[in-house]
Amino acid sequence: MNKMSYLNAINIGEIARPASTLDFSGSPGSFPLARYDLAKIRNVIGRDEIRRGPASIWRYWMLLPADNPAAAITMGEGYTPLVELRALGHQHLWLKDEGQNPSGSFKDRGASVGFTRYRELGVTALALNSTGNASAAWALYAARAGIRCVSFLPFDGQESTRKQCSLAGGEIHFVQDWPNVGSLVARECKAHGWLNVSALREPYRIEGKKTLAYEIAEQFDWRLPNAIVFPTGGGQGVLALYKGFQELRELGWITDPDPKLIITQYAGCAPITKAFRENQDKCEPWGAIDILSGGMKSPNPVSGPAILALLRRTRGTAVAVTNEEALAAESEMCRAEGVFICPEVATTLVGVRKAVESGAVAENDRVVLIGTATGLKSLSHVRDPMA
């Protein structure tokens, strides 16, 4: 396959580095991003080329950072359906059902691109901290790539994701002091020579996840919805999504404005939502965490300032959702629509309703809920009507 795509620089703070670097260090609060020569790509390839590609994220190979996309580490991740939701009271509502990915969550997108690129760059061992879903994806794709993968998981995380990691042969360390897990992983990586692929520490997870934006645009025939509701923890998913929209616009493949961004967070760990409500432009570290086990456990997200800026630029909003509200919405979505999503995703239904109440979303807005993972990930939370 032709090498149409390339990474020409990685912006780390002020510094640009070559695509082949594994040095992602930067000034505090910055994070590395891959950049492309979009003007050149625009001249050589059009969006119709996409249709010829596989039914996975690799149909967008020309916008992904692989020297040889034909040798991608892939299990058919991405190309997930937009399921229309007609019985939940909002006129135009869809679920982007990421539960249909190989490991059951949207994290597979980042793992596929990450392992593809890191294998090309000769990486043999890497490590990350994750509340569970990212580690499950990375451990499974590591097995396929033949790369050693070490996960740092919360001691009280989910059994499903822990078992996905261990069955795939991933190494696991359980962590008690979750708010300081980032510095623990950084220290361990330095001591053992592992590459740190924790969220926003490296550029390629974002590159995989930005394909969510490409797919949403393609599925709506290159138009965009009015609003997107994203369950948010570390914020990497949101940043990736809007990076994807920006690239499509620079390519001239879309012209619609960015959708309003609605983020949802659990009320028991909502640093970005609190900062948004208080009109701050950065977050304070969150104190005591009280949320359901699973994703969205990010008390001090480095993405805070960037997401707050996105919320304001797109005239979106941030919604805090209680554990109880999430569980009730999970049951409602299953009963009314037959979709079996996890409580993190259920926060998005509460989110869109609260956003309509506050006027941030109009009743006839076309809204997409990002269904980041399947309900099978968190069976222990499911309310059993037979019990």
Ligand X SMILES: Cc1ncc(COP(=O)(O)O)c(C=O)c1O
Q: How far is the CB of 44 from ligand X (least distance, A)?
A: 32
Q: How far is the CB of 98 from ligand X (least distance, A)?
A: 8
Q: How far is the CB of 308 from ligand X (least distance, A)?
A: 14
Q: Which is nearer to ligand X, 344 or 365 (CB)?
A: 344
Q: Which is nearer to ligand X, 61 or 138 (CB)?
A: 138
CB 81 within 8 A of CB 216: no
Q: How far is the CB of 331 from ligand X (least distance, A)?
A: 17
Q: Which residue's beta carbon is nearest to the bound ligand X?
A: 295
Q: Which is nearer to ligand X, 41 or 329 (CB)?
A: 329
Interface residues with ligand X (CB under 6 A) are 105, 131, 133, 199, 231-237, 295-296, 298, 342, 344, 372-373
Q: Which is nearer to ligand X, 128 or 373 (CB)?
A: 373
Q: Which is nearer to ligand X, 207 or 251 (CB)?
A: 207
CB 2 within 8 A of CB 41: no
Q: Which is nearer to ligand X, 69 or 99 (CB)?
A: 99
Q: How far is the CB of 341 from ligand X (least distance, A)?
A: 9
Q: How far is the CB of 154 from ligand X (least distance, A)?
A: 11
In terms of Cα–Cα distance, which of 159, 84, 71, 151 is closest to 115?
Answer: 71
Q: How far is the CB of 293 from ligand X (least distance, A)?
A: 11
Q: Which is nearer to ligand X, 62 or 241 (CB)?
A: 241
